[in-house]
Structure 1
Amino acid sequence: MKKVLEVKDLYVSFTTYGGEVKAVRGVSFALNKGETLAIVGESGCGKSVTSQSIMGLIPTPPGKITGGEILFKGRDLTKLKEPELRKIRGADISMIFQDPMTALNPTMTVDEQIIEGIIQHEKLSRLEAKQKTIDILHLVGIPGPESRLKQYPHQFSGGMRQRIVIAMALVCEPEVLIADEPTTALDVTIQAQILELFKAIQEKTGVSIILITHDLGVVAQVADRIAVMYAGKIVEAGNRRDIFYKPQHPYTKGLLNSVPRLDREEAELISIAGSPPDLFSPPIGCPFAARCDYAMEVCDRVYPFKTIMNREHHVDCWLQDERAKRLLAVK
């Protein structure tokens, strides 16, 4: 499949009074045309920082991309200046932010906020931009958009606000859409509607989607491939079937076990004991070792090599080493 976007060995740090926070530590992945890639993990693992790096939205200072490449159409986005990034941001790569109420300007009507992006990136008259706004609101399922153009964000429900934010991101027909926790603040029924909307839009437009989430239920419905992120690193990645039916990393297994399931008799949820490591001074070995039931001495001392399970599935875990497999077999 054709690669639309490729992130290679990305490092991002933030300088604070307490020291340097190493938020993203060597992240690599590719996004193919027309697919949905989900990046999952606990809060603070570096998911949103990775997405903001792609968009060129890391505030400098205190943030800084200290290494790696973000390749889009043969150009390294980390090397571009702000005026060049502004031409790409919103036109070729768009982002849906976590909270639609804070993403929208409460003092501007809906049409003003959407038309602003169209005029910025496309040579259209205001009348043409208005018609395009109506068309995109139809596409995302806003009923009677002609009569709602002059309304303000507070006059819409949470689900409708999220649809407006999606419309703003799609109106310039981007090749890549980054959705950062797009269903977090919504109830289950509206979540399902938004996820169906993503699938319908992808079928119609062919847009490639990066979905940032901690909710594996969301991932199961829409993702083609999944990257599991922990302490600034991608510890496992594979297609949906690999991750849900053949997980190899203990952290991935822990995430799956902590999801409520109807086919499980136990009423109590199985949580992952402990807390993520301090990224002011991240561990030199496997970052999950302190919370892992299978941790060995080597896990604390050396970061595990990448093990290729198949063409799409890879994992960073010492349990895949043949010596560890023999040891576990003896036990």
Structure 2
Amino acid sequence: MAKLLEVENLHVSFHTYAGEVQAVRGVSFSIKEGEAVAIVGESGCGKSVTAKAIMRLLPPGITDIKEGDITFNSSNLLNLSEKKMQLYRGKEMSMIFQDPMTSLNPTMKIGDQIAEGLMKHNKISSKKADVQAVELLRMVGIPEPERRVRQYPHEFSGGMRQRAMIAIALACQPKLLLADEPTTALDVTIQAQILELLKELQQKLGTSLVLITHDLGVVAETCERVVVMYAGQVVETGKVEDIFNTPLHPYTQGLLKTIPRIDLDRKQTLEPIPGTPPDLLDPPKGCAFFARCPYAMKICQSETPELLEIENKQLARCWLHHPIAKRMYKES
């Protein structure tokens, strides 16, 4: 499969009264055509900022893309004008946000919000767009779509609003869909339904999916690869089965220990990761996970490890897997 999206050495900063917050620090990853990839990590690790940078939706004035490239279908999105970028959003790439109630326009009917993008990008009549809006609501599993298109967001339940958001995002059949914690505000049953719907539609339409979440547990059945982020950096990437079975970075290992498992003793408690993430107003010189890592070495405090390929295209940013460290362990 050919690469659809490639993010290289992305650096994004927020300018605050306290100083410059380095929210994203050298992030690199790629997405292939038709592939489903999860970006996981704690709140504040830079997942959503990375996604909004791809969509060019970062708030102007207070954010700054300091360095890097975002290549989509051979075009560097960071070099496009805002007018040209508007042709990409909705048509070539779309985004589903965390809270559909604040993302949907409360003054517009659901059908009109779906039809708006169809008319703009596909250049069709409002009558044709209305017919397609009904079909899109039916596709995402909303009952009585002919009646629902005439309703407002407040008349929909939380799960139905999220389905409507998915319908809007997929209306023009984009090549890339970014879903930013799409199940955060929903109960567990509805979460499972939305994730199953995203997986089904992604496979049916051949859309590349980037699922952003803080919960590793939700990606096992949905995605093929995982990108693990911590303190604005990618610390591990690999296939889902490799990340779950043989996590290489201590942070990924810690995340997995926080997930409840049915094959463990009922009395066994979950193990939280001790400590807190570093302050990105003044990022640490060495490994960002040093202060919380049970395997930290002296070099971890002063030198930042590279993202190295360990085996089977599984990469980890950790000195434990550096060739020098392995050699030292063998000699000792």
Q: Which bin holds the TM-score, normalised by the shorter protein?
A: over 0.9
What residue number does 2:276 align with? 275
- How far residue 324 of structure 1 moved from its aligned partner, in angstroms, is 3.1
d(CA) in 2 for partners of 1:186, 1:330: 53
What residue number does 1:22 align with? 22
Residues 1:310 and 2:323 aligned together: no
- How far residue 44 of structure 1 moved from its aligned partner, in angstroms, is 0.2
Query: Secondary structure at the residue paired with 2:221?
Result: helix
- How far residue 311 of structure 1 moved from its aligned partner, in angstroms, is 4.4
d(CA) in 1 for partners of 2:274, 2:331: 26
Query: Secondary structure at the residue paired with 2:64?
Result: strand
- How far residue 323 of structure 1 moved from its aligned partner, in angstroms, is 4.2
After TM superposition, list the pairs within 5 Å mapping 1:127-142 onto structure 2: 127-142=127-142
d(CA) in 2 for partners of 1:176, 1:119: 20
Query: Secondary structure at the residue paired with 2:161?
Result: helix
- How far residue 326 of structure 1 moved from its aligned partner, in angstroms, is 5.5
Query: Secondary structure at the residue paired with 1:116?
Result: helix
d(CA) in 2 for partners of 1:321, 1:225: 23
Q: TM-score w.r.t. structure 1 length?
A: 0.97
Q: Structure 2: which amino acid aligns with 1:302? A: E
Runs of 4+ aligned structure 1 residues displaced above 4 Å come to 326-331
What residue number does 1:126 align with? 126
What residue number does 2:90 align with? 90
d(CA) in 2 for partners of 1:189, 1:89: 31
Q: Structure 2: which amino acid aligns with 1:316? A: R
Residues 1:260 and 2:260 aligned together: yes
After TM superposition, list the pairs within 5 Å mapping 1:228-243 onto structure 2: 228-243=228-243
- How far residue 122 of structure 1 moved from its aligned partner, in angstroms, is 1.4
Q: Structure 1: which amino acid aligns with 2:236? A: E
- How far residue 306 of structure 1 moved from its aligned partner, in angstroms, is 2.4
What residue number does 1:172 align with? 172
Residues 1:114 and 2:120 aligned together: no
Query: Secondary structure at the residue paired with 2:260?
Result: coil
Q: Structure 1: which 5+ runs fail to align? A: none
- How far residue 327 of structure 1 moved from its aligned partner, in angstroms, is 5.5
What residue number does 1:296 align with? 297
Q: Structure 2: which amino acid aligns with 1:132? A: Q
d(CA) in 2 for partners of 1:113, 1:323: 57
Task: Deviation per CA, 1:176-220: give whole Å up to 9, x if none.
Answer: 000000111111111111111112101210000000001111111
Q: Structure 2: which amino acid aligns with 1:315? A: A
- How far residue 85 of structure 1 moved from its aligned partner, in angstroms, is 0.7
Residues 1:194 and 2:194 aligned together: yes
d(CA) in 2 for partners of 1:69, 1:79: 9
d(CA) in 1 for partners of 2:326, 2:175: 43
What residue number does 1:4 align with? 4
Residues 1:217 and 2:217 aligned together: yes
Q: Which moved more, 1:126-135 or 1:174-183?
A: 126-135
d(CA) in 1 for partners of 2:191, 2:313: 28
- How far residue 261 of structure 1 moved from its aligned partner, in angstroms, is 1.3
Q: Structure 2: which 5+ runs fail to align? A: none
Query: Secondary structure at the residue paired with 1:222?
Result: coil
What residue number does 1:160 align with? 160
Assess if the C-alpha contact under 8 Å between 2:112 and 2:130 holds in 1: no
- How far residue 329 of structure 1 moved from its aligned partner, in angstroms, is 6.6
What residue number does 1:249 align with? 249
d(CA) in 1 for partners of 2:187, 2:303: 43
d(CA) in 2 for partners of 1:95, 1:203: 17
d(CA) in 1 for partners of 2:274, 2:147: 52
C-alpha root-mean-square deviation of aligned residues, in Å? 1.3
Q: Which moved more, 1:151-160 or 1:251-260?
A: 151-160
Aligned pairs, how many? 331
Q: Structure 2: which amino acid aligns with 1:138? A: R
Q: Structure 1: which amino acid aligns with 2:264? A: R
Task: Deviation per CA, 1:106-136: give whole Å up to 9, x if none.
Answer: 1111011111111121110011101111111
- How far residue 307 of structure 1 moved from its aligned partner, in angstroms, is 2.0
Assess if the C-alpha contact under 8 Å between 2:32 and 2:208 holds in 1: yes
What residue number does 1:184 align with? 184
Counting aligned pairs with the same residue, the percent is: 55
Query: Secondary structure at the residue paired with 2:219?
Result: helix
What residue number does 2:60 align with? 60
